[in-house]
Amino acid sequence: MTLESILAQELKIVLKDLYNIDIEADASVVQPTRKEFEGDMTIVVFPYVKLARKAPDAVAKEIGDKLCERLDCLTKYNVVKGYLNLSISDNFWREQLCNGHADEQYGIHPAREEAPVLIEYSSPNTNKPLHLGHVRNNLLGHSVSQILKACGHPVVQVNLVNDRGIHICKSMVAWLRYGNGETPESSNIKGDHLVGNYYVVFDKHYKEEQAKLIAEGMSEEEAAQQAPILLEARELLRRWEANDPEVRALWQKMNQWVYAGFDETYRRLGIQFDKTYYESDTYLLGKALVQEGLDKGVFQRHEDGSVRVNLTDEGLDEKVLLRKDGTSVYMTQDLGTAQLRYEEFLPSRMIYVVGNEQNYHFDVLKLVLGKKLGKAFGDSIFHLSYGMVELPSGKMKSREGTVVDADDLMDDMFLEAKQSTEALGKFDFQPDEAAALYEIVGLGALKYFILKVDPAKNMLFNPAESIDFNGNTAPFIQYTHARIRSLLRKAAEQSVDISTPLPAGSMPEGEEKQLVKALYKYPQVVLSAGDNLSPALIANYVYDLAKQFNHFYQETPVMREADADKRLLRLQLSQWVANTLRNGMKLLGIDVPERM
């Protein structure tokens, strides 16, 4: 139980005893004391003043007296205008250090016996490689999964691959027209990149054909619909849906090229899934639910034959669920896929990590399943919406080939890390060790720079800024971890056993105590990050911790400390910081090196 929870529980007892006031034990009523005041924890007493029928300061004093009587960890208190500031004993902070410094799993909460949380992320199209926007999606989904696991929740990580549709057929047509049998092996190009190249080729020829038709007198709108290459793509889609064996064979071959490329990118990013769904398997699933809605009268068949749901009473509009020719739309598929996942996993929540341009789609999905169809699991759907990622050069466009491929980006980060790391000097790594370090530092920089931003915000990714060893970056945190590991190796070389119990009178003081207090917060930060589905809370915590440790290290001797007891305390404190930095960065999918 945290200190905040203990104080909240005791406050409940004290209020009942003093004033016969009944409250729930809510840890949120206990806050860290502001820096300008003396104390460690603060309770605001104004909510209880009216019922106690006393002045705020008098209520605070009576509560303070009672809490100090009941809790050994409290040494004193002070009252400032109705704010009760409580001071925690040095022995309490010492116990935290003794218990925490060697805990390899510090901040990881016990597993809970409950229904799993299902998280969908990635969801790529098979007509192009993963790009910078996908990187944010994957990193966010993976990190949220790890954070929820650290909070004790069982988690199922799933991917839905968009492997069918007109966009896939566009790459297929371009390959048939201009590919000359090219394969990833014949051209030595990753399969997802090869297929993505043909998507760009399609767009190039599509625009040329449009321009020609317009020059021949056709309107822009007509030309956009009548360009021969687009008509070929539509014909391929029709044949695909009719299960034409020749089209299906080509589709499977090109998709396999893409899957092999995706797998390579996922491995390098450290991304994995418990199950992958494919749109080609799921796009028809929702039709039964649409029929169920028609039978219940909550959906309506439009005069053109399409099936729609009217959501105007909910502040939205009329949404098509089946086209007039009876074919599925994305919403149809998502209805059925949600039902399928519920039946397979019985999740407590279904979290969809999808960009904010799909906010409307998920508002509709939740309303249709829950309010219209009466599915209990509809209320468990949550859209983890995130903002766009842009580069200093502006927005990216897949059709025009101006996206930043995830693979190219990772290669660039590797080179940035190589240059920045070698610039530090004192570099004595063997070539294979150096390459591994560059990969850790480069990918760490990429991941941290993206995850430190609140998911809801748009962001600008600057590779050079992300690799700065002196800023709010992964390399700064990684270097701090490596510095501490070097310190601990020196201690071992000098036969200092940091597993030795601290002497009874050895207490953290000054900056040591401030570091212990910061470390004590970490398990609660993990829970808060899980509640808010925000890796940014972890990222900014570990940065603040690294920054605080570096200040402590500059101002306080460790191995140079003559007093053996103080040296032991500071080494244990350093070990605790290193473990916490490692554990926090792991929740972000980031490795920390033992030396740099």
Does a structural domain hold residue 37? Answer: yes
Can you tell me the distance from the alpha carbon of 313 to that of 319, in angstroms, rounded to the nearest whole number? 13
pLDDT given at position 399: 45
Q: Are residues 169 and 254 in the same domain?
A: yes
* pLDDT tens per residue across all 596 residues of the chain: 789 999 999 999 999 999 999 999 888 899 999 989 999 999 999 999 999 999 999 999 999 999 999 999 999 999 999 999 999 999 999 999 999 999 999 999 999 999 999 999 999 999 999 999 899 999 999 999 999 999 999 999 999 999 998 999 999 999 999 999 999 999 999 999 999 999 999 999 999 999 999 999 999 999 999 999 999 999 999 999 899 999 999 999 999 999 999 999 999 999 999 999 999 999 889 999 999 999 999 999 999 999 999 999 999 999 999 998 888 888 999 999 999 999 999 999 999 999 999 999 999 999 999 999 999 999 999 999 999 988 776 544 444 445 688 999 999 999 999 988 888 766 678 889 999 999 999 999 999 999 999 999 999 888 888 988 889 999 999 999 999 999 999 999 999 999 999 998 899 999 999 999 999 999 999 999 999 999 999 999 999 999 999 999 999 999 999 999 999 999 999 999 999 999 999 999 999 999 98
Q: Which helix (H) or strand (E) holds 2?
A: none
DSSP three-state, residue 352: strand
- For 548, the domain range is 406-587
Q: Are strands 459-460 and 389-390 parallel, antiparallel or unpaired?
A: parallel
Q: Which two structure tokens, joined as six digits, stand for 490?
A: 């020196």
Q: Tell me how many domains the chain contains.
A: 3
Residues 412 and 537 in one domain: yes
- Which of 264, 280, 296 lies at the terminal end of a domain, its last residue? 280
Are 348 and 117 within 8 A, CB to CB?
yes
pLDDT for 429 equals: 83
* 416 and 549, same domain (yes or no): yes
Q: What is the pLDDT of residue 548?
A: 97
Residue type, 465: E
Instruction: Give the position of tokens 């190249």.
Output: 197
Here the CATH number for the domain that contains residue 583 is: 1.10.730.10
Q: What share of the chain is helix, strand, coil (3-state, %, to 5)?
A: 60, 10, 30
User: Are 57 and 194 members of one domain?
Assistant: no
- DSSP type of residue 596: -
Q: Do residues 570 and 481 both lie within one domain?
A: yes
Residue 454 lies in a domain: yes
Residue 74 lies in a domain: yes
- d(C-alpha 92, C-alpha 51), whole Å: 33
160: phi then psi, degrees, rounded to nearest 5: -120, 110
Is the residue at 526 inside a domain?
yes
Helix (H, G, I), strand (E, B), or coil: what is residue 446?
Answer: helix
> Which residue shows structure tokens 């004590």?
520
Q: What pLDDT shows up at residue 393?
A: 66
Residues 430 and 562 in one domain: yes
Give the DSSP per-residue string, 423-484: HT------HHHHHHHHHHHHHHHHHHHHHTS-TTS-EE--HHHHT-TTSSSHHHHHHHHHHH
Tell me which of 56, 88, 120 is where a domain ends.
88
**564 shares its domain with 423:** yes
Same structural domain, 441 and 552: yes
Residue 178 within a domain: yes
Q: Is residue 397 one of the residues assigned to a domain? A: no
Q: Does 463 lie in the same domain as 567? A: yes
In a domain, 379, yes or no: no
Number of helices and strands (H, E) in the chain?
A: 23, 14
pLDDT of residue 49: 94
pLDDT of the residue at 371: 94
CATH number, domain of 63, equals 3.30.1360.70
> What pLDDT score does 400 carry?
47
Q: Are residues 48 and 176 in the same domain?
A: no
The pLDDT of residue 404 is 81
427 and 559, same domain (yes or no): yes
Domain edge (last residue) among 88, 111, 137:
88
Question: Is 358 within a domain?
Answer: no
Type of residue numbered 480: T
SS3 letters for 495-535?
Answer: CCCCCCCCCCCCCCCCHHHHHHHHHHCHHHHHHHHHHHCCH
Residues 62 and 182 in one domain: no
